[in-house]
């Protein structure tokens, strides 16, 4: 089967969050199952793009309104990622250092999707599936179904994977003319609530819709930033497939970013050395349980509550915990988290920014990883934590509910039901009790490191889904 993944992110080419991890791993595992999975994404100015070699496989131009943008499709030469990687290079639009957050993001991703289809439609053969990830690829199902110039692709099944329905990419009808000529009777399939909404359009037009965990699919029916009724209406073609993790990138036995590599048999000494190194850099006490948070500092992750949670938890523990935060996002949260350093030197520290290596070192060096998310479609961090022997402290929601079992239920994590400071503080207290129960703590760590969350299962689940005809 030939599967084309269309995405805005792919690790290690360009990463903002979990979308990149999934698109960097799923195709690799699909190829290992004997299929031809490929990724096509924008050519940003990232290190990976600058340091690797590419061949030009197609050249043309995209028209957006009155502007013409020449574009090139580049193919990575060495198959470095374990699948074919194609980049769409559009000068002036996509070739920037950042991935999102520009005033013309609508134009950028519109042009990207048109370029992708212009390229694919002139192939001599048809791919078996176009697999679109999130709203940046959300106009593809509409375009293949209704744009005249893509008629030859109209029979190619399209799959939409929703990694996060909080972001929908909506824009006004003043940009409708960017769309290549289409059957205007079908314009309603672009619309949601008076806007053109790429995510809603993809939910309507895609052949199948998937979410990144089964619980998230259920939750979207009553919380999806306005798309609840649409998701309920399209439930029949929707499936929840739990993400996996790339066991090769995330393996404490081989991870080159760690100070000391370790396996489940050597978890105690291995984690101790990583913890000491981390605590040295951030001036924390390695004898206290180390709680960490890694992620985007946004409300959906519960990051706005972290300053209050840490303030209270540090007092409640009589200053006998260590805390380290890595993340960036909301300016006010960043500021409040940084301020806390002045109150609790030697106990609390924070790194505002993005740092892949530090994230690995934190999963390895920490005792507990906090994820007090309000919304968590799947969550990968908790699965990385499990693999590195770090106990996840999570809210029971979305994929967190599907992957973490509380120690009270003979599991390996600490769960709480709400995203409130009180709930998280209670959970931290339970975590301290677990830390003090050395025998149980050791047992739990060893056990969770042997859980299998690799992509093998989920990669096959997607293949089974494409196969339903």
Ligand X SMILES: Nc1ncnc2c1ncn2[C@@H]1O[C@H](COP(=O)(O)OP(=O)(O)O[C@H]2O[C@H](CO)[C@@H](O)[C@H](O)[C@H]2O)[C@@H](O)[C@H]1O
101: Cβ–Cβ under 8 A, 6 or more apart, which residues?
Answer: none
Nearer to ligand X, 73 or 326 (CB): 326
Count CB-CB contacts under 10 A for residue 230.
18
Q: What is the dihedral of CA 300, 387, 275, 444, to 10 degrees?
A: 100
296 interacts with ligand X by CB under 6 A: yes
Q: How far is the CB of 397 from ligand X (least distance, A)?
A: 10
CA atoms within 13 A on the CB side of 171: 20
Question: Does 15 show up as a binding residue in the annotation?
Answer: yes
Interface residue with ligand X among 21, 76, 304, 402 (CB under 6 A) is 21
Q: Which residue has the tokens 């978890």?
A: 267
Interface residue with ligand X among 379, 389, 392, 413 (CB under 6 A) is 379
How wide is the angle at C-alpha 353 spanned by C-alphas 327 and 48, nearest 5°? Answer: 110
356 interacts with ligand X by CB under 6 A: yes
Nearer to ligand X, 74 or 394 (CB): 394
- Could you tell me how many residues of this chain bind ligand X (CB under 6 A)? 26
Is there a contact between 425 and 313 (Cβ–Cβ < 8 Å)?
yes
Structure tokens at 37: 């999975």
Alpha-carbon Rg of the chain, whole angstroms?
23
From residue 256 to residue 295, the character string flagging contacts with ligand X as x (rule: CB under 6 A) and all else as - is --------------------------------------xx
Nearer to ligand X, 204 or 387 (CB): 387
Q: How far is the CB of 181 from ligand X (least distance, A)?
A: 34
SS3 169: coil
The stretch near ligand X (CB under 6 A) out of 11-19, 82-90, 408-416, 431-439 is 11-19
Measured distance CA(187)–CA(164) in Å, rounded: 24
Q: How far is the CB of 387 from ligand X (least distance, A)?
A: 12
392: phi then psi, degrees, rounded to nearest 5: -80, 135
Nearer to ligand X, 147 or 378 (CB): 378
169 interacts with ligand X by CB under 6 A: no
SS3 253: coil
Interface residue with ligand X among 5, 18, 54, 397 (CB under 6 A) is 18
**Under the rule (CB under 6 A), what is the footprint of ligand X?**
17-19, 21-22, 163-164, 212, 243, 294-296, 326-328, 354-356, 359, 376-381, 399
């Amino acid at each position: 089967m030939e599967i084309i993944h269309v995405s805005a992110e792919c690790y290690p080419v360009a990463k903002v969050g979990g979308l990149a991890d999934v698109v960097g791993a799923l195709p690799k595992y699909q190829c290992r199952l004997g299929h031809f999975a490929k990724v096509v994404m924008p050519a940003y100015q990232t290190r990976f793009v600058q340091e690797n070699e590419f061949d030009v496989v197609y050249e043309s131009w995209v028209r957006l309104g009155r502007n013409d943008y020449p574009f090139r499709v580049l193919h990575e030469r060495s198959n470095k990622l374990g699948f074919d990687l194609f980049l769409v290079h559009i000068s002036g639009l996509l070739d920037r250092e950042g991935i999102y957050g520009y005033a013309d993001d609508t134009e950028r991703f519109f042009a990207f999707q048109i370029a992708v289809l212009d390229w694919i439609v002139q192939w001599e053969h048809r791919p078996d599936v176009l697999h679109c990830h999130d709203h940046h690829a959300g106009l593809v199902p509409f375009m293949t179904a209704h744009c005249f110039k893509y008629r030859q692709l109209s029979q190619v099944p399209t799959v939409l994977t929703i990694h996060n329905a909080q972001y929908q990419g909506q824009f006004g009808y003043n940009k409708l003319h960017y769309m290549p000529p289409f059957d205007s009777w079908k314009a309603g399939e672009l619309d949601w609530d008076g806007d053109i909404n790429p995510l809603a359009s993809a939910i309507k037009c895609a052949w199948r819709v998937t979410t990144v965990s089964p619980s998230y699919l259920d939750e979207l029916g009553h919380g999806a930033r306005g798309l609840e009724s649409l998701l309920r209406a399209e439930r029949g073609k929707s499936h929840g497939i739990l993400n996996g993790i790339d066991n090769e990138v995330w393996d404490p036995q081989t991870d080159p970013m760690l100070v000391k590599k370790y396996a489940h048999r050597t978890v105690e000494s291995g984690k101790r050395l990583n913890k000491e190194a981390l605590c040295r850099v951030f001036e924390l006490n390695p004898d206290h349980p180390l709680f960490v948070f890694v992620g985007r500092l946004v409300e959906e992750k519960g990051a706005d509550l972290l300053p209050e949670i840490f303030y209270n938890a540090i007092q409640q523990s009589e200053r006998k915990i260590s805390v380290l935060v890595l993340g960036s996002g909301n300016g006010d949260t960043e500021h409040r988290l940084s301020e806390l350093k002045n109150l609790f030197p030697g106990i609390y520290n924070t790194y505002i920014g993005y740092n892949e290596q530090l994230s690995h070192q934190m999963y390895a060096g920490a005792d507990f990883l906090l994820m007090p998310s309000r919304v968590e479609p799947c969550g990968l961090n908790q699965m990385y934590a499990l693999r590195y022997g770090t106990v996840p402290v999570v809210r029971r929601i979305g994929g967190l509910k599907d992957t973490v079992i509380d120690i009270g239920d003979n599991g390996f994590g600490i769960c709480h039901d709400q995203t409130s400071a009180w709930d998280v503080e209670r959970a931290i207290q339970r975590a301290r009790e677990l830390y003090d129960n050395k025998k149980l703590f050791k047992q739990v760590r060893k056990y969770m490191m042997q859980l299998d969350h690799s992509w093998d299962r989920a990669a096959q689940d997607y293949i089974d889904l494409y196969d339903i005809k």
